[in-house]
Amino acid sequence: MTTTTPAAPPAASTAPTRRSPHRHAPLRDVATMSRREARRSIRSVDGIITAFALPVLIMVVFVVIFGGAISGGSGSYIDYVVPGVLIMCLGMNSATAAAAVAQDMTSGTIDRFKTLPIFSPSVLWGHVVASVVRNLASAVLVVLVALALGFRPDAGPAGWLGLVAFATFAIVTFTWISAVLGLVMSVDSAPSLNMLFLFVPYLSSGFVPVETMPDWLHGFAENQPFTPIIETVRGLLMGNLETSTLLVACAWLAGFLALSLVAGSLLYRRRTAR
């Protein structure tokens, strides 16, 4: 008589289930891309000059050279001009992201990143996070130089914390705008984005009151985004922030940020190396 031995049940697999990095490591991927961009910024002499030396020079030019003529000899002009210089410098520093993204597109770096199992938007977010750190450090330097030149803000602890939060919001928005434009601009044309953040603030209340401008400029100067943004920074620094101005500034920034996030997501998936 033949005895049939029952087949052993299949052994349960002991191999660990590999999870997709997309599901559990977006913060790690963003941190990695941020470190990559930070290292590139440190190695770039032009980037260091733009981030730290140029803002200080702009502050010195407006306060020391132009300040006496604009303010009629009094020292109060520095209290008026610091917010405008600060926002201008944050915008110009954020605009460098356009050239960095354009370079990544031209070299095919972004195409290679697309083939890796990483959180896809981390590439662009890396530029944004590195820009926030770089810009906040630059802003601290600008404020310190302004204090040395006679700037005397009236902000309390809440005002300074509000300024940091609002400046971070502005930097994130400015950098996302720059990153999106970097996806469609060439390496040669991307640096021209600096002109947007350099020239448009002059047509706001950042450096002179709107009332002193020609009548035909009043409408644009009063209703363009840089005016409420600069006035919000001025109100936070001087302790007289108006809620309506803050809401208008946040609406402008939130609108541009939302548009940039959507456009950046679509363009990043569709664009390939040029």
Q: Are 208 and 81 in contact (CB under 8 A)?
A: no
Q: Are 78 and 149 in contact (CB under 8 A)?
A: yes
Residue among 53, 34, 201 nearest 119 (CA): 34
pTM surpassing 0.85?
Answer: no
Instruction: Please name the amino acid found at residue 174.
Output: F
- Spatial separation of the C-alpha atoms in residues 162 and 179, rounded to whole Å: 26
Most confident of 75-84, 179-188, 231-240: 231-240
Domain map (residue ranges) of the chain: 26-270
Least confident of 17-21, 99-103, 125-129, 140-144: 17-21
Contacts 24+ apart (CB under 8 A), 152-156: 152/79, 153/79, 153/82, 153/237, 153/238, 153/239, 154/237, 154/238, 154/239, 154/240, 155/236, 155/237, 155/238, 155/239, 156/239
pLDDT for position 105: 84
Q: Tens digit of pLDDT for each residue in 42-78?
A: 777 676 777 788 888 888 888 888 776 665 544 588 8
166, two tokens: 């609002």
Count the neighbouring beta carbons within 10 Å of the beta carbon of residue 137: 13
Measure Cα distances from 219 to 7, 86, 111, 208 in Å. Answer: 86, 23, 44, 15
Residue among 42, 126, 44, 115 nearest 273 (CA): 115
User: Residue 73: what are its φ and ψ, rounded to 5°?
Assistant: 100, -15
Instruction: Please name the amino acid found at residue 248.
Output: V
Q: Are 135 and 182 in contact (CB under 8 A)?
A: no
